[in-house]
Amino acid sequence: MQLNDLNEKEIKKLKIDDLTHMFMDSINEQNLKLIAGIEYLIKEDFENFTLNLNYVIQTKAEIQIKEAFEAKIFKAKLMFSKADRLKVFSKINDIKDIGEFLAHKMLLYRVVFPDSEFKRRIELILKYLREISKNLSAAVKLIGTDLESAHDICELIKEERRKMRLEEWNLLNRLWNYDMDYLSRTFLYLKEFVEGFMMLGDHIKKFAEYIQFLATKYFYFK
Amino acid sequence: MEFELGAIIVIVLIILALALSFSIGANDETPAPLAAAGTIKFKAVLILGGAGLAIGTIFLSQGVASLVGEGILGPGIKYSVFMLLAVLISSILWLIIGSLAGIPLSSTHALIGSIVGVVIVYALFSGGIDVITALNWEKVFLVIISWVITPLAGFLITYILYKIIAKFFISKSKGITDIENSERKFAWMLLIAVFAASVWTGANSAEALGILYGLYSNDSLTIEMYYLFVVICGIFAFLGIYFAGRFVIKNLASQMTDARPSDGFILQISASIILAIATIFSVPISHSHVIVFSIIGLNVAQKKDIDYKGIGKMSLFWILTFPIAAIVAGLLYFGFISFGMV
């Protein structure tokens, strides 16, 4: 089910699980746009870069889902998972906040990457980030029906994030040791740029750990 | 003067029996899991629990009450009103001590212990009565053995029931939504289980009705009056849950918001089975001991941590209840004899 296909009335009719999945899809789509935007930046296609990042900033379609979810969750006759569902939803929402923050920051300055190796390494990190974002979306959708599989996917997310972290150190090491009289603005931008999408990666990793906690909490009979 | 004092004590005993019925309702935590599950409104939970307790008390308690009020005594032995008074005071004292120590003691153990203590002192100081024949020791041992067997049965039944339900139902639910849907069904089944447990708790609550039966067997009450008071006891148990038990139930339910109705269902069904069997055999057992061991059985089945130190402390109090209640009741009755009241 796609958000664009539904009107307000139809959204209000959806179940809590459907709303959560739709919200996750919407945020994941924005994540992927953000990542694609950064890839345009690497290719120095500034027009598409700005277009994608503005999409992340300006898209408010998920607000409808958020309102419908909040209206439903407090009235829902859930016996014990209400607080956990609320937390899952707010953690998805946090991804949107981080993405929007990153997009705003990246649009502050038009950077040119120092060399092709730097670009290659950024692309590698972005590949991991895209992967963990897609995996998180899959894991969230399994919370309602298959926590064991969600748990396994989260293990993959943690593994990918570990690889991302290693790449981050390589990248920062390279950045700090460029043998040139580098523009301080570029240096600062790139440093915060790397730290920015690592922040997104860290949040997704913490989210994955929370899903694993839920799996342990609800799946104790094994 | 002697007659008047006896009559006053009969009235006091009836009032205490009614108060006991009220307090049984007031302390009954059976409906708490149902309140936590939120299947029906809180008032409806209280009415359901109270109705179960009242029905059990009025219609099914005869066997247990007759054992406490007559069957446990030797041939030809009947309670005097002072014996019953000593039994009640001793039971209440020990329960207060248990409450202060924060241990869920059994009023049934305290009652039976007190009866044994009073009857032994009565036999020793009445002349011509043998301690061996003053009590129906066969029944006493049957009751004591049931106190060992029933908690262990609670542990075992809960463990097995959980394993069966986990294998065929709970393990089929693999996600939060599935679990919620499955637990919703258990919440409705819990309603039946709580009602059954309340009925059998009422049926097995020997304290008040045993005293009334004792009064009936020593001719202080006619059979009509006895039944009238049984009905009133049932009503008082209902009122106890409705007006005072609500605080205990609400407090417990608020701590159980994360608890699964399936857990509550398993615990209540186990308790119901054990209480029903004990009641059918006219054996007064401890509901709280059965529930505590059932909870331990559930935790073992779910591979959760168990506070063995806490269980050890609780068990010590449980073992001590019978002899201490017997000694206190015996001393009280000896006091009555010494002051020439008997």
pTM of the model: 0.82
The pLDDT confidence band at residue A5, using thresholds 50, 70 and 90, is low
Q: Return d(Cα A126, Cα B90) in angstroms, integer.
A: 77
Contact B184 A85 (CB under 8 A): no
Nearest-CA neighbor of B284 among B63, B25, B101?
B63
Which of B165, B171, B173, B174 is the mutation pick for testing A, counting most A CBs within 10 A? B174
Count how many domains chain A has.
1
pLDDT digits (tens, 9 = 90+) for B197-236: 999 999 998 788 999 999 999 999 999 999 999 999 999 9
Chain A residues within 8 A of B187 when measuring between CB atoms: 79
Chain A residue whose CA is closest to B164:
A221
Residue B165 touches chain A, beta carbons under 8 Å: no
- B251 within some domain: yes
Contact at 8 Å (CB) between B17 and B234?
A: no
pLDDT one-digit tens code per residue, B129-145: 888 899 999 999 999 99
B residues 242-301 closer than 8 Å to A (CB):
257-261
* Closest residue by Cα to residue B261 from B156, B200, B319, B187: B187
Q: What pLDDT score was predicted for residue A220? A: 57
Number of domains, chain B: 1
Q: What is the pLDDT of residue A69?
A: 93
Which pLDDT score, from 0 to 100, does residue A6 have? 65
Q: A124 or B92: whose pLDDT is higher?
A: A124
Q: Which of A60-74, A128-142, B9-23 has the highest mean pLDDT?
A: A128-142
pLDDT-derived band of residue A176, with 50, 70 and 90 as boundaries? Answer: confident
Asked whether residue B275 is domain-assigned, the answer is: yes
- Give the tens place of pLDDT for each residue, B270-322: 999 999 999 999 999 998 889 989 999 999 998 888 888 888 888 888 888 89
CB contact under 8 A, A79 and B171: no
**Closest to B24 measured CA to CA, from B286, B274, B250:** B286
Tell me the pLDDT band of B1, cut-offs 50, 70 and 90: very low
Residue A98 has pLDDT above 90, yes or no: yes
Q: Which residues of chain B make contact with A145, given a CB cutoff of 8 A?
A: 174-175, 177-178
Assess if residue B31 is contained within a domain: yes
| Cβ atoms of residues B329 and B115 within 8 Å | yes
Residue B320 lies in a domain: no
Task: Using CA coordinates, name the residue in chain A closest to B181.
Answer: A78
- To 5 degrees, how large is the angle CA A146–CA B192–CA A83? 40
Size of interface A-B (CB pairs under 8 A): 54
Contacts of A55 (CB under 8 A, 6+ apart): A30, A33, A37
Quick check: B20 pLDDT over 50?
A: yes
Is residue B289 domain-resident?
Answer: yes
Residue range A27-39: mean pLDDT, rounded: 96
The CATH number of residue A147's host domain is 1.20.58.220
Q: List the domain range (segments joined by +) for residue A105.
A: 3-218
| ipTM tops 0.85 | no
Mean pLDDT rounded to a whole number for chain A = 90
CB neighbour list of residue B34: distance below 8 Å, 6 or more residues apart: B40, B45, B48, B49, B187, B190, B191, B194, B264
> Is pLDDT larger for residue B329 or for residue B6?
B329
Amino acid at B30: T
> What's the pLDDT tens digit per position in B46-86?
999 999 999 999 999 999 999 999 999 999 899 999 999 99
pLDDT over threshold 50, residue A221: no
Does the distance separating the beta carbons of B179 and A145 come in below 8 Å?
no
**Cβ-based contacts of A146 with chain B (< 8 Å):** 174-175
Stretch among B11-15, B137-141, B178-182, B328-332 having the lowest mean pLDDT: B178-182
